[in-house]
Amino acid sequence: MSIDHTPLSTLDVLESEAIHIIREVAAEFEKPVLLFSGGKDSVTVLHLAAKAFWPAKIPFGLLHVDTGHNFPEILKFRDETAARYGIDLSVAKVQDYIDDGRLHERADGTRNTLQTQPLIDAIAEGGYDAVFGGARRDEDKARAKERIFSLRDEFGQWDPSNQRPELWNLYNGRHVNGEHVRVFPISNFTELDVWSYIARENIALAHLYYAHEREVFQRDGMWWSTGEFSAPRPDESVIRKSVRYRTVGDMSCTGAVESDADDISSVLAEVAVTTVTERGATRADDRISAAAMEDRKKDGYF
Amino acid sequence: MTTTPDTTAATQTKTLLRFATAGSVDDGKSTLVGRLLHDAKAILADQLEAVTRTSEERGFVGGEFDFALLTDGLRAEREQGITIDVAYRYFATDKRSFILADCPGHVQYTRNMVTGATTADAVVVLIDARTGATEQTRRHLTVVHRLGIGHVILAINKIDLLDYDQMAYAKVKAEIEALTAEIGLDSAHLIPVSALAGDNVAEVSANTPWYQGPALLELLENLPSKEEDTADLEPFRLDVQSVLRPQGGLAPGLDPDEFRDYRAVTGQVTSGRIHLGDEIDVHPAGLRTTVVGIDTANGPLETAGAPLSVALRLADDIDTARGSVLAAAGSLPEPRKALRAEVFPFTSEGLRSGDRVLVKAGTSTVKAIVTIESKHNLLTAGSEPAEVLAGNDIGTAQVKLATALPIADFREHGRAGGFLIIDPQTGSTVAAGIHTPEDEVS
């Protein structure tokens, strides 16, 4: 260990900012919870939370909204990760809402927008006043405008024209009963920063993020996994291909990209030279319109 | 973004610069931001395709596109062709990562400028070369000066419309230098650019052989960040976020015996640098102790500078809690109940004498009463007595705190002298304040 006055790296600064945010929330809110899907961004937030409170355990639990169309590998990874960190996990299920008629399956079969009601109900039932998410501002134009502390009303809605200015490192989480605050500690990480950080910290991810052979078919320029929720049409031929996932959302709306990147350094190299955004490459739900994300967020989405 | 062979090492050691851009629509700010992102290859194919498609729909021809479409994130902004709120953009070069806070200049400019500026290491203010400094430029530069942003870059845009004429540029330059001298911005960088044509944005242009300085991007790559500038000059300060005592439960895999008596205070180093063995003063205990441990989950450190988040172990069992302040021995600002502040109200209701508010400074939130003293006239640089400040005004106020806080002098120590003014009824942040004990109206 030497005395080292080299300037802090981008990753050091981003990590420090995220840890500060997570500690602020733990100190100022009654009952925070961390939205945890098992995807790389929420795994990164969980890792940062563990670092924020070390050597103590993380003083809040995890919440997942399971659409019923999640990749089984990701659900398994989600449960194993929660167990490894010794942290409680609650799961709200879209399927329960569909089974008892509170929600109806959409004509296109995707369930992304159906997550909003179970999420808001779970937040209300859990009495959570702060809800951590792994959203990043580089993901989408609407997210680029959202604050790190994002006040949501009783209906979970975001009001983009009435956001609190965020000054220095002072966050204002005041809210009245019924309202809650969504908190995005890795707002300032880019996709490449997340991957660099995962590499630096040696964070375990589900293997879907790395190249693997899979039965896939092509639709709208994306590679889709064959399965219960994404079956090929008669004119779409199924082939075996080396692919990886840049995001791991719903199977019904998340495609894979062709890739041979089977370890962290090759994924990093691939992300560094990519010419397409991760949502543009892999999310059918964000291709609906330029304002798809904004509309979902105003409606209470993550 | 060009990659080096060793992507992993490169992305892990790059430094970060946060900067803000300010200027009006007419100054070509969106075009400059779009140009910067485009030339730094931060605009990806699908984004470019979407923008090109919409640009064509709006009558842009021949592959020209409306760069504003890249930065206007909200439906209302795209539909009305205005920018409502600060947007954050990310790009990187081989040397550095950048976070750009894009601040709209026309609506609620103070609120947006203050929001973008408080976290910025540098600010780029756009000026139209044809019109020179306008009232709005003067307002922007005054806010920039009062908020003490480290590096100010004035991008004199649309130099192509002056036919790259050296004499014409010299005239604008002289006028702007007179303005910056009057305001007190001594070390501003001036760059002649054309955002539309790309001159002096990513690369030095052959069209301006008379300009000897760097291109904008090159300048941004080489400016020291706020922390690099001040970490070894400023006294150490840390505002305590919480106390870590793992009796309530240890992280999995740790040995309970080793951490039985563990106690540390957490926080982000606000300013300066702490070394193992340094003496510190503790507020509000009023006692002096020594730092015996600088802990992170990755292992202990011998030193930590701003803005690192750490856990500090102290030699003595001194009463510390959220809101405590640790500072290098002898450097703790005197805790005070009466602040003299410059205030920047954000909301349409403004701020008035007698308002009962909450002040959030560091990790303390206390009750306070505001008495407005004066309102600055940003155009004459004078000020007049006032009891009310409207949204986007700037003025001075006395702020009486219910509990004494060791708030620093903003002019000397930056962020440790900044605070939020919160409406206790609605919870909204209604103003920013900076503690400025000596009158320094310029």
* Three-class SS state of A198: helix
**What does the DSSP assignment read for B175-220?**
HHHHHHHHHT-TT-EEEE-BTTTTBTTTB--TT-TT--S--HHHHH
B92, β-bridge pairs: B97
Q: Quick one: how far is CA A74 from the chain centroid?
A: 12
Average pLDDT over residues B101-111: 75
Contact at 8 Å (CB) between B355 and B335? no
Q: With a cut of 80, say whether residue B65 has pLDDT above it.
A: no
Whether residue A221 is predicted with pLDDT greater than 90 in this model: the reply is: no
**By the 8 A CB rule, do A64 and A89 touch?**
yes
Contacts with B, A 100-129, CB within 8 Å? none
Q: Which of A3, A145, A167 sits opposite B118 (nearest CB)?
A: A167
Q: What is the pLDDT of residue B78?
A: 60
Per-residue pLDDT at A287 exceeds 70: no
pLDDT (mean) for B263-277: 95
B428 touches chain A (CB under 8 A): yes
Comparing B43 with B40, the larger pLDDT belongs to B40
What is the ipTM metric for this complex?
0.92
Q: Is A167–B114 a contact, with Cβ atoms under 8 angstroms apart?
A: yes
CA distance B134 to B132: 6
User: The pTM is what?
Assistant: 0.92
- The better pLDDT of the pair B412, B292 is held by B292
Q: A183 CA to chain B: closest CA distance, Å?
A: 16
pLDDT given for residue B2 in this prediction: 38
Q: Which residues of A touch B303 (CB under 8 A)?
A: 3-5
The residue type at B275: H
The single-letter DSSP state of residue B416 is G
DSSP string across B301-369? ESEEETT-EEEEEESS-----TT-EEEETT-PPPPEEEEEEEEEE-STT-EETT-EEEEEETTEEEEEE
Q: What phi, psi does B275 have (nearest 5°)?
A: -115, 150
In chain B, which residues have their Cβ closer than 8 Å to the Cβ of A7? 15, 225, 227-228
Cβ contacts of A84 on chain B, cutoff 8 Å: 252
Which residues fall within 8 angstroms of residue A287, CB to CB, at 6 or more apart?
A220, A280
Q: Does B313 touch chain A (CB under 8 A)?
A: no
A167 has which bridge partners? A170
pLDDT in tens, B149-190: 889 999 999 999 999 999 999 999 999 999 999 988 888 999
Q: State the average pLDDT for chain A.
A: 88
C-alpha radius of gyration, chain A, whole number: 19
Residue of B nearest to A2 (CA): B302
Task: Cite the DSSP H helix spans in chain A.
Answer: 10-28, 40-53, 72-85, 94-99, 116-126, 191-201, 264-272, 278-282, 292-298
Q: What is the pLDDT of residue B265?
A: 97
Answer whether residue B381 shows pLDDT above 80: no
Q: Does B243 touch chain A (CB under 8 A)?
A: no
Judged by average pLDDT, the poorest of A47-61, B82-96, B338-352 is B82-96
pLDDT band at B70 (very low <50, low <70, confident <90, very high): low
B361/A3 Cβ within 8 A: no
Which domains are present in chain B? 7-230 (3.40.50.300), 237-328 (2.40.30.10), 336-435 (2.40.30.10)
Across A233-259, average pLDDT: 86
Q: Which residue has the higher pLDDT, B10 or B212?
A: B212
Q: Do A56 and B89 touch (CB under 8 A)?
A: no
**pLDDT band of A280, cuts 50, 70, 90:** low
What average pLDDT does the segment A234-240 reach?
89
Give Rg (Cα) of chain B.
24
Residue the block writes with tokens 């050296």: B166
A25-63 pLDDT per residue, tens: 999 999 999 999 999 999 999 999 999 999 999 999 999
Of A150-154, A274-278, B193-197, B212-216, the range with the lowest mean pLDDT is: A274-278
Chain B, residues 371-410, CB within 8 A of chain A, namely none
Per-residue pLDDT for B22 more than 70?
Answer: yes
In sign, the C-alpha dihedral spanning B203, A145, A248, A47 is positive
Mean pLDDT along residues B296-311: 94
- The CATH topology of domain A10-194+291-298 is Rossmann fold (3.40.50)
Domain layout of chain A by residue ranges: 10-194+291-298, 206-287
Q: Under DSSP, is residue B116 helix (H, G, I), strand (E, B) or coil? A: helix
pLDDT at B116 over 80: yes
Residue A81, pLDDT score: 97
Predicted pLDDT of residue A149: 95
Segment B379-390 shows an average pLDDT of 89
Question: Which DSSP state fits A233?
Answer: P
Chain mean pLDDT for chain B: 87
Print burial letters for A254-278: b (CB count within 10 Å at least 16), e (below 16): bbbbebebeebebbbbbbbebebbb
Res. A302 pLDDT band, cuts 50 70 90: low
| pLDDT beyond 90 at A252 | no
Gap between the Cα atoms of B18 and B41, Å rounded: 18
Contact A55 B115 (CB under 8 A): no
Question: Residue B440 — pLDDT band, cuts 50, 70, 90?
Answer: very low
**Closest partner residue to B429 among A160, A172, A275, by Cβ?**
A172
Max avg pLDDT among A30-34, B8-12, B35-39? A30-34
Average pLDDT over residues A61-80: 94
